[in-house]
Amino acid sequence: MATTAPGVTGENHLHRKVGLRALTMVSIGSIIGSGWLLGALHASETAGAASSVSWLIGGLVLALLALVHAELGSTYPVSGGTARFPFMVFGGLGGFTGGWMAFLQAVTIAPIEVEASLGYINARFHSLGWVYTSGTLGTAGALTPKGIGVGVGFMLVFTIFNIMGVKWLAETNAIATYWKILIPTITIFGLLFTVFHSSNFSAGGGFMPYGFHGVFAALPLGIIFALEGFEQAIQVGGETENPQRNIPRAVIGAMIIGTIIYLLLEVAFIGALNPANLVHGWASPITTSAAAGPYYALASQAGLGWLATLLLIDSVISPAGTGLVYLGTSSRISYGLGRNGYFPGIISWINKRGIPFWSIVICFIIGLLTFLPFPSWAALVALVTSATVLMYAMAPLSLAGLRKNDPDRPRAYKLPAASVLCPLSFVFANCIVYFAGWSNVFWLYVLVVIGALIFGVYQAAIPKERRTVLDWRAAMWIVPWLAGLGIISWQGQYTTTFNKVFGVTLNPTYNIGGGMHPTGLREWLDLIIIAVFSLAIYYWATNVAMSKEKIQAAVEEVEAEASIELESHVVA
């Protein structure tokens, strides 16, 4: 059985202070961020008017994964849950893989949100000089040194609020989330009833100008990124009042609200576009100068100055609210990684306020690295989406293993038809990674290798008796899964902007809006291959999961730690 890091002497404990309202707001606050400000534009460029279908598909896929997480989170309410569920079923190596994916996703969200916010503001006030407008001094759209300085300030604010404690985090986020729901709602009605061209839904080549290829290609270019975040209620599950009741309600409620808002926003966005911009297709539905602030530009063109002002203010509040939550929850994931013994125990140290202090500091430092001259918001989003979906994909595997080998545990919420929905959700998750394209998968795997090297060095440096037990047999499917998914993506029909490595082109260049890989797998055949491959991995993984005795021992170990973490007193 995998071992966990020993407790730190003098450690304090996490507290159950987050109720249903605040818990729901944690997830909604994570779902509504920079995705709503920029996602509609990138989706429409790729799928045309059928981007509305992309949002619906994305919502359905993530809703299914949310239901899986709802059972896991309510049945096993521990902080950093996404890092611990695979650990319970697949041992040390499986737990590390899922936990590292979760960490990569969460630790990069806050700086990405900050970058989106600064770019949006800079699009209105060009003299600020926060963002490069060309590729001369750095990648176009990347932050300038001045912009990086402002970004560091944003990250410091996030860090201070998180250090003040989980109740401060939840309540501060709840206040911001009310605003984040209000402004998109006002934008929807403002555009729908002021400037709405129904003809846009058949312009530029028809409703679905790039076919289902465009619909699928749009999913990782902002849609999945925008809709993700439901699991944030699970990440603070160890600090939740009545988690068996509140976690499923918060997760499912947030997913429904987020999907409805995003779908209506896309409809309003398409209808508000200038029909003249769609005569020759969807490559430039708005002018280039307005691309960093699309809703702001549409509101200004419609003469809605008051709405444009609100949107400019929201370009700070929405991304900042999401960044605030993700800096906190990424620290809970690294906390879980430390508890599982993957990294030094210092990252699991809890201060008197009941928060993982050093874990938050580490996430702050790592997050700052994202401000280096990376490519555009859309490119980073596609990369992060791949890590997110691989993290999500571990959940149905974990649920199947826990249902099989921990069957008698009370379940406040039980996923219906789990024998069908679990493998189906795993197939869907792998499809989303495939749609992101080989170039994004390549860079994701580079980060996976880096994590594995850090983990290996740490394990080699500590005494043998303290090393994590890897349970190779239970995790033997992981490398074939990642390798096979990479090979299929390499020969697939999708690519995005991360297309070169040291000047070498990874995929033949082709039009992102529906263009095809000239020698790759045929359309629809690729999805059949992904489905068959995914099902093979799913049943392999669930069959080699740890034995009933090991799983129950791992669950008891994690629960025992959770019980200690949640003591209300402070150890001197």
CA distances from 198 to 19, 57, 191 (A): 43, 22, 12
Q: Is residue 9 part of a domain?
A: no
Phi/psi region, residue 68 (left: phi>0; alpha: psi -120 to 50; beta: rest), is alpha
What's the structural domain count of the chain? 1
Q: Please give the angle made by the CA atoms of 198, 203 and 208, to the nearest 5 degrees.
A: 100
What confidence score (pLDDT) does residue 138 get?
42
**200 touches 286 (CB < 8 A):** no
Q: Is residue 569 part of a domain?
A: no
3-class DSSP assignment, residue 501:
strand
The stretches in the chain having pLDDT less than 70 are 1-19, 79-83, 131-142, 162-174, 232, 234-244, 288-292, 351, 353-354, 372-379, 495-520, 561-572
Q: What tokens appear for 444 in the block?
A: 């994701």
Q: Is residue 13 part of a domain?
A: no
What would you report as the CA-atom Rg of the chain, rounded to the nearest whole angstrom?
23
Other beta carbons within 10 angstroms of residue 411's beta carbon come to 17
Alpha carbons 105 and 35: distance in angstroms, whole number:
15
Q: Is residue 4 part of a domain?
A: no
Question: On the CB side of 121, how many CA atoms lie within 13 Å of its CA?
Answer: 20
DSSP 525-567: HHHHHHHHHHHHHHHHHHHSSPPHHHHHHHHHHHHHHHHHHT-
Q: What's the whole-model pTM score?
A: 0.81
CA distances from 451 to 83, 101, 140, 536 (A): 14, 9, 29, 26
Question: What's the CATH code of the domain at 475?
Answer: 1.20.1740.10
- Of 44, 62, 392, which is closest to residue 224 (Cα–Cα)? 62
Q: List CB contacts of 470: < 8 A, sequence separation 6 or more.
A: 2, 91, 92, 93
Q: Please give the angle made by the CA atoms of 527, 531 and 532, to the nearest 5 degrees.
A: 120
What confidence score (pLDDT) does residue 432 get?
92
Map 119-188 to HEC letters. HHHHHHCHHHCCECCCCCCCCCCCECHHHHHHHHHHHHHHHHHHHCCHHHHHHHHHHHHHHHHHHHHHHH
Q: Is residue 527 part of a domain?
A: yes
Find the length of the chain: 572
Task: Tell me which residue range forms the domain holding 472.
Answer: 20-559
Please list the residues that pair with 500 across neighbouring strands. 505
3-class DSSP assignment, residue 345:
helix
Alpha carbons 374 and 161: distance in angstroms, whole number:
27
Q: List CB contacts of 450: < 8 A, sequence separation 6 or more.
A: none
Q: List CB contacts of 333: < 8 A, sequence separation 6 or more.
A: 80, 82, 83, 99, 102, 103, 106, 107, 235
- Per 3-state DSSP, the chain is made up of helix, strand and coil in percentages (nearest 5) of 70, 0, 30
Q: Is residue 286 part of a domain?
A: yes
Other beta carbons within 10 angstroms of residue 137's beta carbon come to 12
CA distances from 310 to 88, 110, 318 (A): 46, 22, 11
- Of 569, 167, 162, which is closest to residue 352 (Cα–Cα)? 569
What confidence score (pLDDT) does residue 236 get?
58
Q: Is residue 571 part of a domain?
A: no
**266 touches 51 (CB < 8 A):** yes
- Of 124, 168, 506, 132, which is closest to residue 315 (Cα–Cα)? 124
3-class DSSP assignment, residue 18:
strand
Q: Is residue 329 part of a domain?
A: yes
**534 touches 430 (CB < 8 A):** yes
Q: What tokens appear for 98 in the block?
A: 């899922």
Q: What is the dihedral of CA 45, 48, 49, 53, to 10 degrees?
A: -90
Alpha carbons 76 and 91: distance in angstroms, whole number:
16
